[in-house]
Structure 1
Amino acid sequence: MPDRALEFDRVSKRYGDIVALDAVSFEVRPGELYGFVGSNGAGKTTAMRIALGVLAADGGEVRYAGSPVTHATRTRIGYMPEERGLYPKMKVLDQLVYLAELHGLAPNEAHRNAEYWIGKLGLTERRRDEVLKLSLGNQQRVQLAAALVHDPAVLVLDEPFSGLDPLAVDVMSQVLRDKASTGVPVVFSSHQLDLVERLCDRVGIIRSGRMVASGSVTELTADAATQLSVRAPRAQPGWAATLPWVRVVSDSGSETVLELESGADDQAVLAAALATGPVTEFSRRRPTLTELFRNVVSDNGAEREGAGA
């Protein structure tokens, strides 16, 4: 069986003088949840639209299972656009059946799949409602059902968690995990970086049309400076600001997060914290995806090309 990975191989796209994608390469492996993140206008949606054939690349290639993506391949991709792509006056069930049939499913199978995803996504009581009468969160659930109803071999989702309440986020997260567990490559973009960090096997960060990092969060933060989390509830505000070789990342009052430069003595930091009063926690801390993102997309952020891509 061929490797059922979705590959972007040096994909480029320009709009006049604007470079939307600059030789973008990354791979979404079978059974993997891949988070594709970047600032607004970084190129995420352009890359996804090229994979779907909505846009043509100026250079490079998108492949699935080792072969170039064709029209036939694209019928096997489940796509969820950031903008709602539903018929607002169609009823939920009718719409999902219609979309399943457009992808080639027989009427009975289309009905069976539509009912399955309606139940799975908690839409049973809304199945006869017109889409325009649904809340934005329920419309988002219907949009995901539309991407799944034809049993796709690949999932490409643009901001699937936008506008969802925490319960709906949990439902959608589990659906994506379940789908990936069947061997389907799943790639999605999101600005909710804490969710991406929690959910995804690997993450790709794009900046100004270029991939600047790709890999697991652990891999991407492996070379990051040492951080310490210090809880000293009686400490005076700003107690760590004058320590040498130390940068204050955040100070909430109850917790101070510090970044140590090479050669800094963490025991000297502990002694300074104890001088302010009791210390209830003193531990090393891994930078979050949000902190990593801020670093690599900033003008001064060091680019880290394609670890694990």
Structure 2
Amino acid sequence: PWSSRYGRRNRYGPSPTVKVATPRDIRAFFMESESMPRSDYLSFPNRDTIDDTIADMQALAEQVLLKVDKTIEDQIPPPTAVLEDELPLHYDGLELTNGVTTVFMFSFPDMDIILPQVDIYGWTPDVMSSGVFDISSGNAVAWEDENLRVGLWLHSGWNQTAKMLQQYLELNDARYRREVWTMDEFLETNVIGSKVFIQQYDSFRNAKIVAAVRVPPEGVYAVASHVMDLATYLEETYPGHGFEKIIDRSDVLMIYFCGRQLTGEKAHPDLPTAQQSRFIIALVPEGS
């Protein structure tokens, strides 16, 4: 089933070559991303607040210039290769492959957050080398786990898709990073149970958040090796965060993105500043 579901063929060129992805390939993709050098990710300044100084902004601008100092051809990601007879990944009737443009709005008790529109591509064996998921692409990557739940990896950090959602989760009312011991309560009271609205062109879907967890620095490498059994792993490793509700369901969208170190938390020495943690938020169709 994996070869039929994840086989890829380039429909744009002659004599297409079929590439077959396996669950091990997808796990390797996540593990490879965790070991990418710091220069491959734009990171937040290592500060307690997000009030950037001029020096911070200049440093970020230099990173951006390094990223975009490429030819126009290099900046445009090639089309994702898809088998003509392959069924695209779906969540609640919405396609989550082939560069479909999608907008997410989160309605939390104290504010609404609309993320920038994002083009979603399905996972392929060459997703890292193709440019589809480059930090400058503004794209997201979707994959399917062992129970046909769909995962969606968004870029976070400065000027990235999940930036506003990341800041909502990480910063308190004073705009300082939350104390690590307050995060679970915040997720339970402000995030789980909130509504999410998803738009693709003229199609709209209502969803609700049924599970949410923050994986701390010491757990980042481990969670990256469990992308195919992500819900099961989170339910077993981080009980009480709602993932037991989706173990037997396939109509689930799990949003996955990076976060920073929180106040009172020890940083992982081998992880970049912008990749010190992971957030996973699980959605199901509202009313289901």
State the TM-score, normalizing by the size of structure 2: 0.25
State the TM-score, normalizing by the size of structure 1: 0.23
Bigger radius of gyration among the two: 1
